[in-house]
Structure 1
Amino acid sequence: MITLARPSAAEAALRESGSLVVEPGAIEVAGRRRTYSEVRPAGLPQGAPLLLVFHGSNQNGRKLRAFSGHTFDALAARSGVRVVYLDGYKGHWNDARVSAGFAARRENYDDVAFTRAVVSRFTGDGRADPARVHCAGYSNGGQMVIRLLHEVPELFAGAAVIAATQPAPENFMAVGEVRPLPVLLVHGTRDPLVPYDGGMASMWGFRPRGLGLSFARTAAYYARRNGIGTAPVSGRREPGPRARGTSVETVDHREPGKPSVRAVTVHNGGHVVPNLTAAAPRLLGRTNLEFDTGRAMWDFLTSEAAGEARD
């Protein structure tokens, strides 16, 4: 189900009251100091769910928090989730695309090891439940999540990929165990950087980032990985006054006993994180301000966990 509700007054008051704790952190990985920011409700008990969030190109965790309208902060406040925003090296991640030419790749920064270390830190001392660790990424961060899903899927209970598509086979270097996991995918049809219909990702025609599959083929790829052979089911909601010329459609790949894949298309949407409060710069395309990515992601992933428990 797609949630289009505005934040509740209680949720807004919680965030404004200072009851949401923001705490910087650092950890050494392979002799390199890596940084992150933890956001959690005050008094959050041990064993809470953990969400790792990976920012886009030329961002860090702090910038993504603002860029995404604090949608994941709101999730922390509302649902008692410990959210950790990781910082890439010089604003980028060493993702699984052969074509990636970022400093993180050139200087061989091991972002998979960084992820392992952060998960180990928070689960090792009991702050997070190892069975409820999830990851979400936007753009370059979405590509990093794709790498993690292929190389260390055992760390996670589910994932969300925003404004990123599966690299074409000749542009993909990740290898590892196939482990079925629920995946939420979100993409705009008018994304100016990562083509919705597949092809060459680039910075407005410059700095090509390699070939990627279409959004539909990306969803089908993860459905096949999860062993889903049934036909997908789609649904669409009428846009409201804050849709800003966009509309939202979902396509669900579901089969009993198997983790689902949900593909959320934002028609006329851009290279953005849909949220309730902050529109991205115009050159990135339109931001739907009625679709709460954080809430939609968590509703999907927790419903998948509940279904698995019933099975």
Structure 2
Amino acid sequence: MLKRIVLTSVLGWLSFSGLHAQVLTDSLQIEGNYRVFHFHKPAVGQQPQSLAFVMHGSGGDGKGMMRGTEKAEQEAQATRTLLVYPDGYKRYWNECRKASPALANKEDVNEQAFFAGMIEYFERHYGIQPKQVFAVGTSGGGHMAYKLALTMPDRFRAVTAIIANLPDTDNLDCTPAGKPVPMLIINGTEDNVNPYQGGVVDLGPNMNMGRVRSTDRTFAYWAELAGYRGKPTMEKLPDTDPSDGRTVERHTYQAKGKPEVVLLKVIGGKHDYPKDIDVHVEALRFFQRQLR
């Protein structure tokens, strides 16, 4: 049974798009654990319709993810999307990497119940449309995004994973539902944490997360699940910041009646965000395309 607990209704104010946005924090009690999330209170007269969870990486938190998402918040306002920044359990997620030594994994915290509870919370309090729920995550948050797509495909209209590859088959402790989901992947070819070609993800002392698939295998998994065969279309995006030594290619599978599956391949990209694009804005625009 879910029980809502108000921790602090107002933590502060952030300014974006020329407006002041009230930052709210609330929590749900999930199987004895208080799970926390943060969001900007919608302005009067701006009823949101869509909901997008923005998940932090391993060792982070939701409030930390709110920094640097000004452009995404502006995009969200324009599309009547409410961005919600949940906290992992003790700064980590119980995602699908079997080898993860994080307490979230060891204690097998119920992430599905947490996200289902948040969806119900925002439906009840803010009128979110249940068929317009999305998720985007970075690094460990990207792995959480994959878990939502693998295990709760009926609850999420589309998902984005940033600098994250699917766990390899012998490191996967989730049971996939086997249903296709529109998927956007954003990975860098020179990432030494999430290896583009696949391999071990080692976050430091006592934080070996096990093996992940290559980005190509990860991309192919979602494309094949959606019924695609052959090669995707490819276009090179404008190199808006030539000084960063990176360029971006968009590889797309798209067909009528099938979920869109996209890879933004950041040539020269590392375990960070490229400067040529805003990854969260790209995610939100990808989400909006799924509503057309």
Q: TM-score, normalised by structure 2?
A: 0.88
Describe the SS at the equivalent of 2:244: coil
Q: Secondary structure at the match of 2:154?
A: helix
Instruction: Say whether 1:294 aligns with 2:261.
Output: no
Q: Report the secondary structure of 1:259's partner residue.
A: coil
Aligned to 2:84: 84
Q: Distance in 1 between matches of 2:259 and 2:124?
A: 27
Deviation of 1:125 (Å):
4.0
Pairing 1:250-265 to 2, within 5 Å after superposition: 250-265=250-265
Q: CA RMSD in A?
A: 2.1
**Cα distance in 2, alignment partners of residues 95 and 244 from structure 1:** 32
Structure 1 residues 42 and 83: CA distance shift in structure 2, 3 A = same
2:161 aligns with: 161
Q: CA deviation at 1:72?
A: 3.3
1:144 aligns with 2:130: no
Gapped regions of structure 1 (runs ≥ 5): 1-12, 275-287, 307-311
Q: Is the 8 A contact 2:100 2:208 kept in 1?
A: no
Letter in 1 for 2:36: T
Matches within 5 A, 1:185-200: 185-200=185-200
Amino acid at match of 1:49: S
Equivalent residue number for residue 22 of structure 1: 23
User: Do the aligned partners of 2:100 and 2:207 also contact (CA within 8 Å) in 1?
Assistant: no
Asked if the contact 2:238–2:276 (Cα under 8 Å) also holds between the matched residues in 1, the reply is no
Alpha-carbon distance in 2 for matches of 1:205, 1:252? 38
User: Cα offset for 1:40?
Assistant: 4.7
- State how far apart, in whole Å, the 2-side matches of 1:143 and 1:40 are: 27
Shift of 1:242: 6.1
What is the one-letter code of the residue matched to 2:138?
A: Y
State the Cα distance separating 1:205 from its structure 2 match: 8.7
Q: Compared with structure 1, are the counterparts of its residues 270 and 204 closer, same or farther at alpha carbon in structure 2 (3 Å cutoff)?
A: farther
Can you list the C-alpha shifts for 1:13-46, whole angstroms capped at 9, x where unaligned?
A: 9716444332111111112211110125412544
- What do residues 214-239 of structure 1 show as CA deviations (whole Å, max 9, x unaligned)? 11111110001111124211111341
Higher helix share: 1
Aligned partner letter, 1:150: L
- Higher mean C-alpha displacement, 217-226 vs 297-306: 297-306
**Deviations 1:192-232 (Å, cap 9, x if unpaired)?**
21101111111269732111111111111000111112421
**Match in the other structure for 1:214:** 214
Question: 1:166 is matched by which residue type in structure 2?
Answer: L
CA deviation digits over 1:31-76, x for unaligned, max 9? 221111012541254451100111101100111222x444433333
Unaligned runs of 5+ in 2: 1-13
Question: Partner amino acid for 1:58?
Answer: G
Q: How far apart, CA to CA, are the structure 1 residues paired with 2:114 and 2:196?
A: 30
CA distance in 2, matches of 1:208, 1:252: 32
Write the letter of the residue equivalent to 2:282: A
Residue of structure 2 in register with 1:122 after alignment: 122
Name the SS of the counterpart of 1:194 in structure 2: coil
For 1:271 and 1:254, the matched residues in 2 are separated by 27
Aligned residues: 279
Amino acid in the other structure paired with 1:267: I
Q: Deviations over 1:155-205 (max 9, x none)?
A: 110010001101111111111422222111001111121101111111269
Question: Offset of 1:240 from its aligned partner?
Answer: 2.5
Question: 2 CA distance for matches of 1:199 and 1:71?
Answer: 33
The 3-state SS of whatever aligns with 2:132 is strand
**Aligned AA for 1:89?**
Y
Look up the match of 2:6. Answer: none
Counterpart position of 2:43: 42
Answering whether residue 58 of structure 2 is matched by residue 57 of structure 1, we say yes
Normalising by structure 1, what TM-score?
Answer: 0.83
Q: Which residue of 2 aligns with 1:309?
A: none
Alpha-carbon distance change, 243 to 90 in structure 1, aligned in 2, over 3 angstroms: farther
Aligned ranges for residues 274-293 of structure 1 at < 5 Å?
274=273, 288-293=274-279
Q: Which AA in structure 2 matches 1:296? A: E
